């Protein structure tokens, strides 16, 4: 029969574990873990601890080991878990990012979630999540738009000339049109 590693507590650790084991404001899982370590410090084996606190012997072994590695602090938090594996591979996410930022669709000025989804073969919701996570907004244009008016250059010179050399006793005001979108 395998014998579990013994736990020897210093007075400060024992006081803290006892406080946690019976504390009313301590989370239940921390109180249970503290009780497991206190029972292990009394020399009890995993099976005896599991029967007394109604847990599996594996759980008793887990918290004994965690205490031996990290002390009282190791009982306060769960170990990090890997989480769910991403359903969209990183290569696909990179493809969406590259297409969004470096190209435009054939018959449009910018990508929509639907056109991007058709282009790369994933769902529209997935494209939306990728864009949202990275703050991509292909529908917003942040560049200066030059007018297609053939007389634009002449009008531009007249306006700039008015600002640079206003008529005497004249007040020059500028009113800029703004789209309905909020910025």
Task: Specify the pLDDT at position 181.
Answer: 60
Q: What is the pLDDT of residues 42-66, one digit of tens each?
A: 999 999 999 999 999 999 999 999 9
166 in any annotated domain? no
60 touches 46 (CB < 8 A): yes
Mean per-residue pLDDT, 73-86 = 86
Angle between helix 28-41 and 46-53 (nearest 10): 140
Same domain assignment for residues 66 and 112: no
Quick one: 18 and 68 in the same domain? yes
Same domain, 57 and 96: no
Does 101 fall in a domain? yes
As to burial, measured by CB atoms within 10 angstroms (0-12 exposed, 13-18 middle, 19+ buried), residue 33 is: buried
Q: Are residues 72 and 95 in the same domain?
A: no
Whether the pTM exceeds 0.85: the reply is no
Structurally, the chain folds into a number of domains equal to 2
Percent of the chain with pLDDT over 70: 93
Residue 64 domain-assigned? yes
Q: Does residue 67 share a domain with residue 34? A: yes
Domain boundaries, position 47: 11-76
């Amino acid at each position: 029969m395998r014998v579990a590693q013994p736990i020897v507590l210093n007075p400060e650790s024992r006081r803290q574990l006892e406080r946690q084991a019976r504390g009313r404001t301590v989370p239940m899982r921390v109180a249970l873990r503290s009780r497991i370590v206190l029972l292990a410090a009394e020399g009890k084996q995993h099976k005896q601890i599991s029967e007394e606190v109604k847990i599996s012997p594996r759980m008793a072994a887990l918290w004994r080991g965690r205490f031996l590695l990290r002390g009282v602090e190791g009982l306060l938090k769960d170990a990090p878990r890997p989480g769910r594996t991403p359903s969209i591979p990183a290569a696909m996410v990179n493809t969406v990012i590259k297409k969004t930022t470096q190209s435009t669709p054939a018959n449009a000025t910018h990508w929509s979630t639907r056109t991007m989804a058709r282009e790369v073969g994933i769902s529209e919701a997935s494209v939306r999540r990728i864009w949202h996570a990275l703050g991509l907004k292909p529908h917003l244009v942040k560049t200066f738009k030059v007018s297609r008016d053939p007389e634009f250059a002449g009008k531009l010179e007249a306006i700039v000339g008015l600002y640079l050399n206003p008529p005497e006793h004249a007040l020059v005001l500028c009113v800029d049109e703004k789209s309905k979108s909020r910025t």
